[in-house]
Amino acid sequence: MRLNLMLFILKEEMKFDLIHKDKNSEARAGLLETDHGMVETPIFMPVGTQATVKTMAPRNLDETGVQIILGNTYHLYLRPGEELIGRFGGIHNFMGWNKPVLTDSGGYQVFSLKELRKLDSEGVTFQSHLDGSSHRFTPEKVLDIQRHLGSDIMMVLDECAPYPSTHEYAEESNALTLKWAREARVLYEKKERLYGYDQWLFGIVQGSIYEDLREGSARELMDMDFPGYAIGGLAVGESKSEMYRITSLCTDILPAHKPRYLMGVGMPEDILEGIARGVDMFDCVLPTRNARNGTVFTWNGRLVIKAGRFKEDTLPIDEQCTCYTCRNFSRAYLRHLFNANEILGLHLATLHNIHFYMDLVKKSREKILNNEFSVWSKTVLPTVANLIENNN
């Protein structure tokens, strides 16, 4: 009895300190405590799909200021499998990263499989994109996979409704997501921790672009009392204004003393807009995927580094940037690496882009603490959203 009570208390008390709220916006600076260290919010989480943030060694994540990364449950379950990772005592040990990890539920990937998956009220059956083998995810299965993966923050299985969805479809989908969330929440309470450190479970607000559904979803999840809440089902094709509207609607309802995570978002301007609306956590493949395609971010906008105009350019990607790439290499050299298909180019561009995203959230936090976020983000927004003219 006493042990159960203690576990219960531990799980209820994920520590999230709301340090400061900006005077002129909903932006907030917080401190999230995990057993793998503190996370200063607002924070961006680079995506490490297969137990690696592509091209980046853990020490490179450290040097760019990364505090927490995201792993994809679907991919890790298929390869190398949660059992193997469990034999290493969890994903941190397996990949040599000793800071916090959040894993998604795998739902987004499974529902992206379209013809390869079949949904029912208890879960979803799907075929692996790797070898066509058949698998099944239920709320409990997904919770157990993540428990074995050993992430600090786990997500409940949800259905991410496609965009556009009818109100009817979105309503049914949301009802299922809430049913699964409730099942997961109950099971989470009963399960013991596997590795001697806490793992927290977040609920996910769904409901497409429908305000009534989003509000209902948020309130029902709050009744279930999760350690934190995510806003899912955005950045799936809706307009930016719709995305911002739904984000605001959710953050207005969600409790102030728990972390809020806007899933799969996004471009630098989307992150600033999300922060202004009270979001604490973000993840997105954009900085890493764009880097591998040769697009790099700067405070003056994006550059397509392969462009002919950079052929003889002795400047770094961004003169204001202090990352290893910008301290040591010219645009001309990076362009050469991309043109010659050299892997080092992918690494150096990724390192820069992650550094830029971490700089973005770090500066945002500083500005929030000084009540300057609104003014500052208005001056920054037009330029970071810019695609610098590409005359090649």
Q: Which CB atom, from 60 or from 377, has the smaller least distance to its own copies?
A: 60
Give the footprint of its own copies on residues 233-292 (CB under 8 A): none
CA-based angle 243:71:190, to the nearest 5? 95
x-or-dash string of contact with its own copies, 311-350, rule CB under 8 A? xx-x---------x---xxx-xx--xx-xx-xxx-xxx--
Q: How many residues lie near its own copies (CB under 8 A)?
A: 36
Closest CB 55 distance from its own copies, rounded Å: 5
The residue from 87, 118, 129, 167 that contacts its own copies (CB under 8 A) is 87
Closest CB 108 distance from its own copies, rounded Å: 19
Closest CB 345 distance from its own copies, rounded Å: 8
Judged by CB under 8 A, does residue 80 bind its own copies? yes
Q: Which CB atom, from 185 or from 355, has the smaller least distance to its own copies?
A: 355
Convert the chain into a string of H (helix), E (strand) and C (coil).
Answer: CHHHHHHHHHHHCCCEEEEEECCCCCCEEEEEEECCEEEEECEEEEECCCCCCCCCCHHHHHHCCCCCEEECHHHHHHCCCHHHHHHCCCHHHHHCCCCCEEECCCHHHHHHCHHHEEEECCEEEEECCCCCCEEEECHHHHHHHHHHHCCCEEECCCCCCCCCCCHHHHHHHHHHHHHHHHHHHHHHHHCCCCCCCCCEEEEEECCCCCHHHHHHHHHHHHHHCCCEEEECCCCCCCCHHHHHHHHHHHHHHCCCCCCEEECCCCCHHHHHHHHHCCCCEEEECHHHHHHHCCEEEECCEEEECCCHHHCCCCCCCCCCCCCHHHHHCCHHHHHHHHHCCCHHHHHHHHHHHHHHHHHHHHHHHHHHHCCCHHHHHHHHHHHHCCECCCCC
Gyration radius of the chain's alpha carbons: 21
Q: Which CB atom, from 96 or from 237, has the smaller least distance to its own copies?
A: 96
Judged by CB under 8 A, does residue 226 bind its own copies? no
Catalytic one among 158, 198, 270, 283? Answer: 283
Q: Which CB atom, from 146 or from 288, has the smaller least distance to its own copies?
A: 288
Closest CB 75 distance from its own copies, rounded Å: 8
Annotated active-site residue 104? The verdict is yes
The residue from 50, 112, 125, 128 that contacts its own copies (CB under 8 A) is 50
The residue from 14, 51, 156, 205 that contacts its own copies (CB under 8 A) is 51
Judged by CB under 8 A, does residue 23 bind its own copies? no
Judged by CB under 8 A, does residue 59 bind its own copies? yes
Q: Give the interface segment with its own copies, choosing from 57-65, 200-208, 226-234, 263-271 (CB under 8 A).
A: 57-65
The residue from 56, 181, 291, 361 that contacts its own copies (CB under 8 A) is 56
Q: Which residues bind its own copies (CB under 8 A)?
A: 50-52, 54-59, 79-80, 84, 87-88, 94-96, 311-312, 314, 324, 328-330, 332-333, 336-337, 339-340, 342-344, 346-348
Q: Give catalytic residue positions.
A: 104, 283
